[in-house]
Structure 1
């Protein structure tokens, strides 16, 4: 179970958070408090935990099968709600930074309309992420105008959490800058600036580790299942070590 938060510093030095947890915040201590408060709300006690007539074994089984917020672990229910939620939060942070950098405020500020597509690229020990998204700006009468198409690239070193915005710009509908990364890894429809020097990743004729993006997803899913099975064995052994309980009964409840 995990929750991803993106943090950026605005032009006044305040910290902004995505998803929006209030703020702006003056210090990282305030950010930490906001995150802890948000997590505490997500981790509300379930009806199961509030009952006292369950054994320790039953509670261990429940903890294995459910996230702290009550969501079943072995379903895709969390991702089905909004499969692109994390990417959308990241794009919103990029767009807000773009508005800050270009002094676009009020009716002149771009508002995120739609996340069109996104793709990850791995080159030289660094992850790059390319995004196409659309925005709208408000007219003088407060109504939203026509859509604007954007391209953005962010990157970070492998095993690091600091993201760098390499590029964020409007592009035309017929712009088609070349990118090996998106083409080779399953996103040939990604539109890039005509000036290929505007973005850093995608210039090497390589593929993602293990092959194309679809294959990576399959392999990662398989590895995840193996990890889950190893974790399951650990839970079973923990129960067997301390409690005299039929193995088949426990295993069936953990499925």
Structure 2
């Protein structure tokens, strides 16, 4: 049986975002012994269904969502791609919530000059799917435990509080503190551009950048694929 791992990212029109994600896919490909093929759920081509259909020699497909939480794209778009594929296809859980993602958020905070006196707001994309929102809130709790400080989660779409409201509330609660936005987004793109427009003192880089592919993200992608194919123990 020839298994192919399909790395399913959201897709972006940002060249920086495309480069950052492609470097993650390349890093995963170097670390595993099976073919790794990129696909997308929006904006870019090929979509995941087309990537599977065009993958000659594949007899089993494993789709790993390069998404931080499991919302519509995982439960609908990728599920449909798996159901309609001509070969047996599994969809793994999303990348988060995972303590290793918190490792990367903490690293980005340190790079941005985070101080324990700062107020921290975690910026997440948001979703109409409550399961995805719960994943983001879980990450916020993990980050708060890691920092030993309060962390508010603010959303860029579909969920409340909005990032702008969360930043404003942080200012009201601690008017003499800097507000630092920890960016819980996979890569540069449309949503990261929105983060830069809020009234924060510091905005951290996303988890991936064109020049930084944290090993934790590579490990999570590989683990999701291995867990999905291991079967019951």
TM range (shorter): under 0.3
The TM-score with structure 2 as length reference comes to 0.26
Query: In proportion to residue count, which structure has more helix?
Result: 2
Higher-Rg member (1/2): 1
